[in-house]
Amino acid sequence: MPVPTDSVAEIDHIVGHWTDLRQEGLEQQTQAEAERHQFSEDFRTITDSVIRPAMQAAADRLAKDGGGGLIEEREEDLMHRPRIILWMSLDGDIAGTPRQDLNPYLQLDADVGRRRIDVWEGDMWVKEGASRATSPLNLGDVSTESVTARILDILRRAATHGVPT
């Protein structure tokens, strides 16, 4: 027995609706990818123009005052987020490979998916101190002053460790 054409006409509506939803999903995916790419580019730009120069100024001043500093950077790849770290020493150059349990540091990781900068700070010195995540930053929160203020806070805390009481 043939199926009346009126009863299957809704298939056109179902397929059309599904096609519209699929297209919307593809457009949203394309938009999200464009936003991730833009954030990644903006992080690179702010790293080059603000973060690295502020970190380098701190490393240079530490070296002038008898300490040390080293900037380490990592580009984005399939397994890693973009990252920049300032490792610091209050006494002489950093010996060997810097480590979170030995050296004061400021680490900034670009979280491209969430479009924010994750911040890690450590004030370990003379086997005392802590390493921890702090509140993330938005790109608009990054300035020479804000990066320098974080570095100074870390160094102030680190300078209290290992002092005889």
Instruction: Give a yes or no: residue 163 inside a domain.
Output: no
**37 in a structural domain:** yes
Q: What pLDDT is recorded for position 31?
A: 86
Has residue 78 been placed in a domain?
A: yes
pLDDT band per the 50, 70, 90 thresholds, residue 64: very high
Q: How far apart are CA 68 and CA 98, in angstroms?
A: 11
Host domain of residue 43: 5-158
Tens of pLDDT, residues 3-55: 566 778 888 888 888 888 888 888 888 888 898 899 999 999 999 999 999 99
| Cβ pair 119, 151 in contact under 8 A | no
Give the per-residue pLDDT at 3.
55
Q: Is 103 exposed, middle or buried (0-12, 13-18, 19+ CB in 10 A)?
A: buried
Give the integer Cα–Cα distance in Å for 143 and 47.
Answer: 10
> Is 110 contained in some domain?
yes
- Residue 165 in any domain: the answer is no
Asked whether residue 108 carries a pLDDT value surpassing 60, the answer given is yes
> How many structural domains are present in the chain?
1
Q: What is the pLDDT of residue 95?
A: 85
Look at residue 72 and tell me if it is in a domain: yes
Domain assignment of residue 31, yes or no: yes
pLDDT at 126 over 90: no
Q: Judge whether 164 lies within some domain.
A: no
pLDDT at residue 136 in the model: 96
Q: Which two tokens stand for residue 72?
A: 């380490």
pTM of the model: 0.83
